[in-house]
Structure 1
């Protein structure tokens, strides 16, 4: 399995157990899925449109999700023929592999928690206060705050509802290409994992990130792509989905976050430095 995107040629995912803690009652495991890396040189028109997305969006009225027809996503032609998630999975119900699921949505409190934590971490880097990483500290720069996007959240939730590994094949919207971070955390004695812990784990990849890559992004053998998408300067929108379900003996919290416009474009700046 792997993550596939309209702008990637070959994508794989790796499993990273950030921590395994065992005592008489509980065990937790954490898994992250490597995000998509995009090659903008192979898609020059898409790169131009992506840069314009922030301007175009000012003239776009957000769709009410209740009125969004799955067929409209089936007609989108921005993923090189790959089926869109909302077209491939038209039912909002959790998939059969979501064993004994508890919930298939984020609360308003959790949505706010995710957005605020993203912006707190983005601001930490933008202000030059992140000292970790190879050749740290990370350079200060312009990284705008993220706004919650219900369309991105709807797509993320639909993918989370499949209770599967990796990334969906197509999550793009008419406004822009969409990036994605996926992670899960589980305990053996209940749904104790918090969404903030998964987001923080994505950000903590900064420890492996070389600050000299900021002016021109390139992929790394070390797991850093969740961090770079999280702090990508041209990304301004976020929407996430959540599934709580049993995975073997583990009570699993599975988080999917979609970002627009997408980050992780090869040879482009992660953000503009000061």
Structure 2
């Protein structure tokens, strides 16, 4: 059947949201062709010209532009990881490197794990103060795309800059697993990585929650504190599988909408959810 103009607009927004997932794009283009014919027939019945119809489709984002990651305003000093990035893998990845799809199941695992752990911390966990607010994380496609720029290098190293126009201080967590023999389930490994990041709380001084230190010498705590940061509300991740000799590697990259800021709280302690603007999430 034909669609209403409101549905057209919603369809355009949906297409814009998934534009970074190349597999979905091809499928959506096929859908667009069929939908466009129905919409054109509806336009004719309503004495709307085909030219106006094409303009409408264009205006809702089916032909949207991409971010110029070479724009110096994104990073200041240093080069953005996405500047002049190509779709291929770096030589370090070898010949058989592949992306692990960030499909609905994987995204649900990543979001649920993050949000379950954040909710636990917000209640007051293991001697840490409760959080006045701890936003529920949602997926961000651009953060995931930028994370893939680092993942496809197959080099266990933070990039210098991963900011977007929306998120000027984007943080990043990395994890790597190497194995031989029996294949490892990427979904299970992603959940394992997230748990290991959270487990850094065992070594994290409680005082760091109130003020992230300018200088710190001790066990790793940066992954944990970034996961618990109350200024973070979006996340996007990427995972690559590649070979090095007899080893198979899984390289996992998550980019966040904010980073830990020196001298600032990781989160503000106080009565749980007392500063939440929309109440507590019933799921978590």
Between the aligned partners of 2:241 and 2:145, the Cα distance in structure 1 is 16
1:111 aligns with 2:107: yes
Residue in structure 1 matched with residue 76 of structure 2 by the alignment: 80
In 1: Cα distance, 2:93 partner to 2:226 partner: 27
**Residue 97, structure 1, aligned to residue 87, structure 2:** no
SS state at 2:263 partner: coil
Is 1:144 matched with 2:135? yes
User: 1:112 is paired with a residue of what secondary structure?
Assistant: helix
Give how far 1:157 is off: 1.1
Aligned residues of 1:104 and 1:157 also touching (Cα < 8 A): no
Matched, 1:208 2:203: yes
Aligned residue number for residue 28 of structure 1? none
Change (3 A) 1:212 1:126: same
Measured in 1, the distance between the counterparts of 2:103 and 2:93 equals 19
Deviation digits for residues 77-112 of structure 1 (CA, Å, limit 9, x no counterpart):
1312322122142x1222222122243432321111
Tell me which protein shows more helix as a share of its residues: 2
What is the rounded CA distance, in whole Å, between the counterparts of 1:229 and 1:172 in structure 2?
Answer: 15
Map 1:171-182; keep pairs closer than 5 Å: 171-176=162-167, 177-182=169-174
Q: Pick the structure with more strand per residue.
A: 1
Structure 1: where are the runs of 5+ without partners? 1-60, 132-136
Q: Which residue of 1 aligns with 2:144?
A: 153
Q: In 2, Cα distance between the equivalents of 1:164 and 1:209?
A: 27
| Aligned partner of 2:119 among 118, 123, 134 | 123
**Structure 2: how far apart are the matches of 1:213 and 1:187?**
35
Q: Which structure's CA Rg is the greater one?
A: 2
Asked if the contact 1:94/1:104 (under 8 Å) is kept, the reply is no
Kept after mapping to 2: 8 A contact 1:191/1:244: no
State whether structure 2 residue 253 is matched by structure 1 residue 256. yes
Rounded to whole Å, the distance in 2 between the matches of 1:114 and 1:220 is 29
Structure 2: distance between partners of 1:236 and 1:186: 30
Aligned residue number for residue 263 of structure 2: 267
Please name the residue that 2:274 is paired with.
none
TM-score by length of 1: 0.70
